[in-house]
Amino acid sequence: MRLSQARKILECLASPAILVDMECNDQTYYVLTPPIAGFFEFSMMRVKRALDQKVLSEGYS
């Protein structure tokens, strides 16, 4: 499988939070979601630039 195909599949799995995607040193890492993560904690683990985490966290208060 080509890297581009694998990345597309991984991004599709990360979008609904089946996988967690994390960026570090210009690399993206994908890991399985924790089995007992809380809703609030898990939503704050998302680091996509499309999510404004400040606004999201303010909504929880």
- What percent of the chain has pLDDT above 90? 21
Q: What is the pTM of this model?
A: 0.52
Q: Are 32 and 45 in contact (CB under 8 A)?
A: no
Does position 61 have pLDDT exceeding 80, yes or no? Answer: no
Distances (CA, A) of 14 to 25, 32, 35, 58: 19, 9, 15, 23
Average pLDDT estimate for 3-19: 88
pLDDT digits (tens, 9 = 90+) for 21-44: 888 899 999 988 766 656 667 667
5 or 50: which leads in pLDDT:
5
